[in-house]
Structure 1
Amino acid sequence: MTEKIRLLVKMDIDGAQVRITAHGRLTSRSLHALYIVARRANALMHGLALEIDVSGANVDPAAMEALRRCSQSRRLPALIDPQQSDVNISVRSSADAVMAA
C-alpha cells in the first residue's frame, strides 16, 4: 500500500451529499489534507451531509481517533476552520464495514 493519501470526492448537490473516499495511508500528518477537502466541501452548501470513507485506507489509530472526534463534535479542527462551522460529518471505516456484515 502506498504511503501517500489519495482522495476521491463525489458530490450530489441535489441530494446535498458529499463522499470523500481515502486510499493509501492516512496518518495524523496527512489528515490535514483530508480536513481541507472536507472544509471546502462543507462550504458549498449549508446542511451538507459529508461522509468520509476510510474503509479502503490504512489508517493510523491517532488519525482515526481525530476523525471520530470531529464526527462527534460536528466541527473540524480550529486550525482548519477558524469559524468552527457546523459540519454534518460521518466516518466509515473498515471496522464499521466488518461490524455491519
Structure 2
Amino acid sequence: MGLLQSCFAKNNKVGVMKEEAEVYEKVRQEEPKLPPRRLTELKKEDFDKWRDDQEKVQSQKQKLAQQRREEALIQKKIEVAHREMERLEKYVNLSVQ
C-alpha cells in the first residue's frame, strides 16, 4: 500500500522535467549523426571477411561430413563382404569334406 501512496503523493514528480523536455526536443530537431565513413567501411569489410570465413568453414564441414559418409559406406560394404565370405566358406568347406 505504501508504494501506491507514494505514486500518488503530491511531492512525487512523475514524468519529464522541463529542462529534460527541452534537451529532448533539441536532440530530436538535430540531424542524426552518422559514424565516420571510414568506420562503416571497416565494419563492412569485417562483415565481408566474416561471411567469407563462414562460407569456408561451412564448406569444410560439408566436405568432412561427405568424407565420413563415404567412409561409413565403405566400412559397411566391407562388413557385408566379410559376412558373405564367411557364409560362402561354409559351403566350400562342406563340399570339400
TM over 0.5: no
Choose 1 or 2 for highest CA Rg.
2
Greater helix share, 1 or 2?
2
TM-score of Structure 1 vs Structure 2, range by shorter chain: under 0.3
TM-score (norm 2): 0.19
Greater strand share, 1 or 2?
1
